[in-house]
Amino acid sequence: MKKFLFDTMETYLENGLRLITIKKETQIASLNIGVMVGAVCEEKQERGISHFIEHMLFKGTVNRDNEKLNSDLENLGGEYNAYTDYMSTVFNTTTLNEELDVSLELISDLLQHPTFLEEHIEKERGVILAELRSGKDDVEDLSFQKINDMAFTHSPLKVDVIGKEEIVKSISREDLIRYYNNHYVSNNTVITVVSSYEHEYVIELVKKYFSQWKRKEVNKPILNFEKNKDKFKITHRDNMEQSTIIYLYTFNDLTKKEELALRILNHKFGESSNSILFRELREDRGLAYDIYTSLDLTNNLKTLYIYAAVAPEDVDATIETINNCIEKIKEEIIVFDGNTINLMKKVFKTAIASTLEDSTDLGNYVVHQAMEEDNLYQFNEDMENLNYIVAQDLYEVAKKVLNKPTIHVLLCDRE
């Protein structure tokens, strides 16, 4: 079997910053800088502060005011962005190779020298509050917020990464600076650079802009896995055209082989456009227009969701159909043959090839693998292990995971 490999070199700067350079034939340079700080690091009274800081870092530095910083980023002629999730905050640029030097200088400036001016804090607070409120207007987003809130007591998943409105309103400049100083340090950061440059050249560039960044001890949060509650709830809301149904399952005791089997099962169960749920709920019974599953294998936050948008009069029939599909899988009535595994091999190979071809996707993949302390070439192991997955593995993992879900129905009230 052809090995999907790429040319990497891993380096640690003296200040503890981890750098992974990836050399490939490309005209595009992709820079990803992952700081290992996200919603899991927040205390209850800080919900949303990681995301708030991500916004603030684009509002100006000691070397560039807000307008100058964003003008310089725009002049890269490519793309720049950032996002915060539960485990990390990632900053990235995608530019021509010749802009890599400037990209590193700009991102190093906003990461190491933010000003947190009061006037910008208040403006950005308003932006984030508007973002929070828009999430409440988005029925799909609201549905996921509702089920996470009812499923957990302590898990960071209970609160959206954006945070809670009352907490975002109360976060002060001092809170932002304290939290920033505790987490935005060199030894809590991973950089990946995908370009056509030699590894040694990129390493020297990164040292040029990041070697003065101070390291310090970082108190990593202890993230304890929390099982979802076995619970059913209906929430009523008007001004909606359709109702939504979400199932949530959590799991934290699967082997790598079982996780691989679960990925195959998930693809066949609800991820593909020809999945079991799609065929049963939409094609055969016409109950749902939108139906899918979502699987997250992040350490200690392992979840499987089932989402469906249906007419209110079809809620009961949809739940009955989903439950029947699950039971048919667990009772081995639905047949998984060799074609299921072979199809998944094609899906994996296509996804891997697509990632390796795209500099941005490749850099993002590697930075997350590194932050999770996972094998950069995990996909190679997965491709090899696919040869040993059989139908019984899918049935067994279904029996292990698809039990005692949290179920939430957001029911539209029609006059």
* CA gap 312, 309 in Å, rounded: 9
Does residue 297 register a pLDDT over 80? yes
- Asked if residue 287 is part of any domain, the answer here is yes
Token digits for 394?
């899918």
**Average pLDDT across the chain, whole number:** 93
CB 31 within 8 A of CB 107: yes
Q: Closest Cα partner for 73 from 119, 122, 111?
A: 111
pLDDT for res 186: 97
Q: 42-67 pLDDT, tens per residue?
A: 998 999 999 999 999 999 999 999 99
Does residue 414 register a pLDDT over 80? no
Beta bridge partners of 20: 10, 192
- Asked if residue 48 is part of any domain, the answer here is yes
Same domain, 201 and 324: no
- Asked if residue 118 is part of any domain, the answer here is yes
Same domain, 174 and 282: no
- Rounded to 5 degrees, φ, ψ at 245 are -130, 130
CB 111 within 8 A of CB 209: no
CB 244 within 8 A of CB 307: yes
Same domain, 203 and 255: no
pLDDT for res 299: 84
When pLDDT is cut at 50, 70 and 90, the band that residue 11 belongs to is very high
- Asked if residue 223 is part of any domain, the answer here is no
* CA gap 48, 159 in Å, rounded: 9
Same domain, 205 and 69: yes
- Asked if residue 225 is part of any domain, the answer here is no
Does residue 178 register a pLDDT over 90? yes
Same domain, 32 and 109: yes
- Asked if residue 401 is part of any domain, the answer here is yes
Average pLDDT over residues 232-255: 92
Same domain, 160 and 235: no
Same domain, 361 and 289: yes
pLDDT for res 38: 96
- Asked if residue 219 is part of any domain, the answer here is no
Same domain, 318 and 277: yes
Same domain, 74 and 178: yes
Domain boundary among 181, 210, 239: 210
Does residue 237 register a pLDDT over 90? no
Q: 382-407 pLDDT, tens per residue?
A: 888 888 899 999 999 999 999 999 99
Average pLDDT over residues 279-302: 92
Residue type, 211: S
Does residue 254 register a pLDDT over 80? yes
* CA gap 153, 369 in Å, rounded: 28
**Which residue did the predictor score with more confidence, 161 or 137?**
161
- Asked if residue 216 is part of any domain, the answer here is no
Domain encompassing residue 12: 7-210
- Rounded to 5 degrees, φ, ψ at 8 are -120, 155
Average pLDDT over residues 191-201: 97
CATH number of the domain within which 52 lies: 3.30.830.10
pLDDT for res 1: 38
Tokens 């927040």 locate to 42
The count of domains in the chain is 2
Average pLDDT over residues 181-194: 97
* CA gap 313, 150 in Å, rounded: 24
DSSP 214-264: PP-----------PPP-EEEEEEESS-SSEEEEEEEE-----HHHHHHHHH
Does residue 3 register a pLDDT over 70? no
Interhelix angle 100-112/66-74, rounded to 10 degrees, is: 150
Same domain, 269 and 179: no
Tokens 């359709």 locate to 242
251 three-state secondary structure: coil
Same domain, 119 and 195: yes
Domain boundary among 155, 175, 210: 210
Domain boundary among 210, 240, 259: 210
Same domain, 150 and 247: no
**Which residue did the predictor score with more confidence, 204 or 223?**
204
Q: 306-354 pLDDT, tens per residue?
A: 999 999 999 999 999 999 999 999 999 999 988 888 888 888 888 888 9
Does residue 415 register a pLDDT over 80? no
Token digits for 305?
């969701």
Does residue 225 register a pLDDT over 70? yes
Does residue 129 register a pLDDT over 90? yes
Q: 68-105 pLDDT, tens per residue?
A: 999 999 999 999 999 999 999 999 999 999 999 999 99
